[in-house]
Structure formats: structure tokens, C-alpha cells
Amino acid sequence: MSIENIVEQALKDGYLTPAMEAEVGRICDTASELSIEEYMSLDRLMGALLTGEVVAVPRKQFINVMEELVLTEAISRVAEIEASSNSTLDLGDIAAYALNRLPPLYATTEEGAAFQRNNAKSELSILIADQVKEAIARSLNQPEFYPERQILGKPQPGESVLGQVSELLQDYAHKFTPETQGAAQ
């Protein structure tokens, strides 16, 4: 989407969303030079924002308190497991699994967040702990898919740098032949 399109949409809707703002920022950051039309559109947007014709929507006007509670529980459980074993767990996967099975607890004010937090601690703490435990158990019980996989670009034991470069050239240069290595020097 171009700056001109974004500005037209903002003027039409009366709102500049965080996504629209981010896209304008991305365009401005990546462009070596903006056109006159782009500058004029940005000027129109700035004027509309200053007069109130367009309102910038704040990035986040609410929070999900459940995310905080699940992350707190998951961090402590994962730390215990990783400290007592050789296992490494993906905290994001565990939190997402548990959050998908728990009710969201959204709040728009600090007071609302405190209320949600207190209620959840008294009424949902066991459910939160159970979901995090289930997520960890699933994560630990997942088989290691294709254990013979190798990281891209990882050298074989004993392979020289010249051998690695030669392999890369064979993979990526269509007409490369190892015999021409000496002739190129």
C-alpha cells in the first residue's frame, strides 16, 4: 500500500491505525527519497491529525491479564525442569498452548487488570497450573522429528574451509567444476 493510499484511507475513516502508521514508517525508512506526492500526502495527514479530522488509534488500549499469569507460571516451571535435566523447552510454545485452553482476561485500566489478576489467582490458579503442566508434558513427549537433520551450512567434522567453499560453489554455481580451481588463481 502506498503512502497516498494510506492517507486517503485514514481521511475516509477518520482513523490512523497502528498498522497504517507502521506501514508509512516502513515506506519512509526504506525509500531513498520520497516523491512530491508522498510529501504532500504526509502533509495532508499531519494537518488532519492536528485538526482532529483524523485520530491516531493508540497501539494497545487493553491487556490480557491471562498472558501475564500464564507466562509467570510457565517461566517458573520451565526453569525448574531445565535446571534439573538436559531438556530445553520453548517458552513461547508452552505459553501459547496453555493460553489457547484458558479464558482471556482483558482489562482496559490498571484497576481492571488488578481485579482480573486477583480473581484469576483465587479462582483460576489451579486451572492455569494444570494447563501449563499439560503444555510442558506435551512438549517433553514430542518426538524429535528427523534427528539426523543437520543445520544448514554446518561443516562436516574435519572438513576444511576450502572444502566448504567448494561444496557451496557446487551447490550454487551452475558451471563450477573443481578442476578449474587452480586455473583461476
In this prediction, residue 148 carries a pLDDT of: 61
In contact, 16 and 9? CB cutoff 8 Å: no
Nearest Cα neighbor of 131 from 105, 90, 94, 106 is 94
Q: Which residue stretches of 52-145 are H helix? A: 65-84, 91-99, 110-123, 125-141
Mean pLDDT of 37-41: 91
Nearest Cα neighbor of 15 from 3, 6, 4 is 6
Q: 109-123: per-residue pLDDT in tens? A: 889 999 999 999 999
In this prediction, residue 119 carries a pLDDT of: 95
Pick the range with the lowest mean pLDDT from 37-41, 74-78, 133-137, 163-167. 163-167
In contact, 35 and 27? CB cutoff 8 Å: no
Mean pLDDT of 38-67: 89
In contact, 59 and 16? CB cutoff 8 Å: no
- Rounded CA-CA distance 141/74 in Å is 17
- Rounded CA-CA distance 100/120 in Å is 16
Q: How far is CA 4 from CA 27, 33, 98, in A?
A: 11, 15, 42
In contact, 43 and 11? CB cutoff 8 Å: no
- Other CB atoms within 10 A of residue 54 CB: 22
Q: How far is CA 181 from CA 60, 108, 123, 170, 177, in A?
A: 58, 66, 71, 12, 8
In this prediction, residue 31 carries a pLDDT of: 84
Q: 74-107: per-residue pLDDT in tens? A: 988 988 888 888 877 888 889 999 999 999 999 9
Nearest Cα neighbor of 96 from 143, 147, 134, 44 is 134
Q: How does the average pLDDT of the chain come out, rounded?
A: 82
- Rounded CA-CA distance 119/114 in Å is 9
Q: 153-175: per-residue pLDDT in tens? A: 555 555 555 565 566 555 555 55
What's the whole-model pTM score? 0.53
